[in-house]
Amino acid sequence: MTTERTFSIIKPDATRRNLIGKIITKLEDGGLRVIAQKKIHLTKEQAEQFYSVHKERPFYNDLVQFMTSGPVVVQVLEGDNAVLRNRELMGATNPADAEPGTIRREYAESLEANSVHGSDSLENAKIEIDFFFGADEIVG
Ligand code: ADP
Ligand code: MG
């Protein structure tokens, strides 16, 4: 087993519905530990840059609008195989395809408003963590 760090966002649809605690409980019960966390309102520029990999996709503008529609919680999670474990706990991108018990199946509103983000690789986790957190904000 390898201890990893991954990056997570609790998205505006979830903060709006007061689901921060319920989502963190699922992450903690799933074996992950929050080692950095802050509630912020993304700027348009931050959301555009964060999702720039999707900028040619038809849903990009809507996604940026959604991600700036309310506050988010950005966080660093640590644990055994944290990148994959977080993706398992989140469930599939489309909540209709997500396994029962996963965060997206339980809480997501739609394919776009799907409650959580999680890094898809260790390499992207590092990039995403560095985008939002300085080393002095992470307490392992
Ligand atoms: P994931 O968040 O599971 O890694 P992607 O990286 O493919 O998924 O997409 C990023 C985010 O863009 C998704 O979490 C979702 O909010 C949104 N999204 C993805 N595909 C669509 C789509 N077809 N229509 C609307 N929004 C989408
Ligand atoms: Mg992704």
pLDDT at 12: 99
Average pLDDT over residues 87-115: 98
> Is the pTM value of this prediction over 0.75?
yes
Ligand 1 centroid to Cα of residue 111, in Å, is 7
Per residue in 10-23, pLDDT (tens digit) is: 999 999 999 999 99
pLDDT at 43: 98
pLDDT at 1: 78
Nearest CA, atom 25, ligand 1: 112
Average pLDDT of the residues of the chain = 98
- What percent of the chain has pLDDT above 70? 100
Q: 19 in ligand 1 pocket by Cβ < 6 Å?
A: no
Task: Kindly tell me if the per-residue pLDDT of 26 is higher than 90.
Answer: yes
How many helices and strands (H and E) does the chain possess?
7, 4
Task: Kindly tell me if the per-residue pLDDT of 140 is higher than 90.
Answer: no
Active site includes 117? yes
pLDDT at 94: 98
Choosing from 117, 118, 128, 129, the catalytic residue is 117
Per residue in 104-118, pLDDT (tens digit) is: 999 999 999 999 999
**Structure-block tokens of residue 38:** 């802050």
- Gap between the Cα atoms of 24 and 69, Å rounded: 21
pLDDT at 132: 98
The residue length of the chain stands at: 140
Which of 93, 113, 131, 101 lies closest to 27, judged by CA?
101
Nearest CA, atom 11, ligand 1: 112
Average pLDDT over residues 91-101: 98
Nearest CA, atom 14, ligand 1: 93
**Structure-block tokens of residue 133:** 């957190």
Q: Give the helix ranges, DSSP H, for 31-121.
A: 44-50, 60-67, 82-90, 103-107
CA 3 to chain centroid: 19
